[in-house]
Structure 1
């Protein structure tokens, strides 16, 4: 029932002895408000799962009061009980309407779910399982690698077979009281990654030392120049390929990429009872030389007062350099180059003529250098003939004969002209 407004007439009658009856009446407006009816929405006997809420219905016009053991424990619309017993819920209004409900509460424990991490030898699988739950329980599994859940299945136990490493496997168990619990574990392979370094690149004459886990036994290193070619890998060749247990040393020759290819290792992990196998690819490349190029001219010439940008062309092996340093020499003689302060990028903006050298370093020792020369060409000199004309007549402007000096080779006339109109005066 909603709030209602009533218009009523109030009549007052007064009887005075010896006088006629006096009547008085007045119209009055009365607002009749209806308060909400308190409602608990909970039964006398309730059951929840451990850690769950016991919640009454919510109405903003009602107030709530929970009691347990003779003490008020909350004035919210819900509680999270941690003990079984009789809870009293009082729901009331500002006008004094109230409803009191005693609730005998049972707290059902959550199912106990335990998964343990598992490891296996490479290519092997492992089975994760949970069991011992009441009939009617439901199970589903989550693969963290693919972020997918299996369809729920009912029973007293469930299992999941992991065939490849999974960072996190989760099982969710819902028992016959609708209480839910989860646990997670992981599955991995022993020594799945033998070489942490990945593919390698070194330069002629450089040495590469590769070290793997020293806890294995029976190390066998082999080599194949072309891994895509038919045939099995072959034994190492000393002195360029030397293996000592878990350490492999490769010495590149001075002018050839011999010993490039794929290197294999096998061993035995006695601790875990697993075979070990891995490989990496090695590229042996020439010592890089920077091919320095210019942004404006092909030969490094620039006009007096101008600038020219120097950078290096793409490196054929796409090698990444750690540092760069530009230096300058007016003569280009070794020992006369001085580092240019702040010139530590792969490019440099030259402003004067002279010899410029770029030096780059790599973490594998394949340092590179490149030298180029910048020549400044003086601006041409010339004079314009004076001219005069009457109003309305044309005037021809030209370079004075014999006065053009190009300062470049044997050029006697400009390559092109560009006229700019000046202001009067």
Structure 2
């Protein structure tokens, strides 16, 4: 824009078109030289009297210049300087990454971008490059907007070292075995192939691989950085034990074993071999028996195998008990046999049968000898117990007033059940009892007992009193003198009767004048020498009368003091 103040000025000039600059930039305003100059406003201008000053306005500004020549002729011109704001260029926050990883840088606020340094960037001219620095790095982005204005921002990427992962030492194990892994170097652990691991989220899981395996552990430190390491678990080929072929043998015959497949051996059951830790011990089985060998190979791996020795043996019925007269069928169990021989032959229905009837009359031990087709023999015993309960009767015969009194006592084992039966139709379950047998009659008693096994016995007792009556048993014994002086000798006048005849007897004592001095009946047929008033009778001759049912006896005796 040109202003001519005086028409007589012989020169003109033009500052040119308005200009645009970016905030913070400067521009030189050009005028002809050889004149004097005055610039206004004096705002952000390098010199207000220079011909071509630099201006650096912060806002849109119109600058005026008055140019005066040597003739003091002045010309005025102006120029608009428009200030474009800088683009607001920004990037994401500073970041921290683990070595070997990447992060995306994100810039905004401009139309085009340039990143410096161009270090491990996927593209330094895009707003969103991927950065993977190996060391701490400051990335600067320069952004250019539509007005050609530039601005920049910086992001710092801090690179953390990786943890030193250690999965442990490679090792070898036997098939079916386990090993404990032991990783280190971090805070969090994860095994990336967790097959056959007890826990894939701990540093020291138990590994039980079926085949040789490589285990990879990912270790994470407190910063979240991760690294991996691996450990190889070699699984040996399995050991192969061979205990040999199974065999059949006679009883009490040793068998030599013969195992193979290893360098060390252990046989079980050890009590039945002569050397447990050799490959070929002698075995001494006492029945059908499995012999198991554990074999250790050169890798220290183990395997087992089994061989069976079948020993010819038979068995017969278990010992038993039954009552006399019963029987049992013999039963042979065990291995097949072709020849049988029972002994003793008493009570055996067929001594060459494998299932004879056995009926002993007393307790007997029977032996069966059996032989198989290979000529092996074996024998077994059975004891058959025949209980012998015995009914035992003990008696006592007593004469009574009305007949004979038979006292019966069961003297059998007190644990037996028992019962009395009589031929008069009566019975009893008392151990001790009395039976009154009328004179001139008979009685048969039967005592039956049974033990805990149900075996029984019976005893009989017969009393035969044919032709015997009261008079046949009547007998009296009366003294002819006694001395009641309390010296302990012959102080009582005693009347002795057989059995229980006193129960129906009476005694009368008279003096020589016929006066009764004493009378009693029943159990007490004894006189102590005092009368019925309790006064001692004088010495002298006395008379007695003893009455028993329809019988009586009289006589005299002397009393001395």
Q: Give the TM-score, by structure 1 length.
A: 0.47
Structure with more contact order per residue of length (Cα contacts < 8 Å, sep ≥ 6):
1
Larger radius of gyration: 2
Q: Give the TM-score, by structure 2 length.
A: 0.37
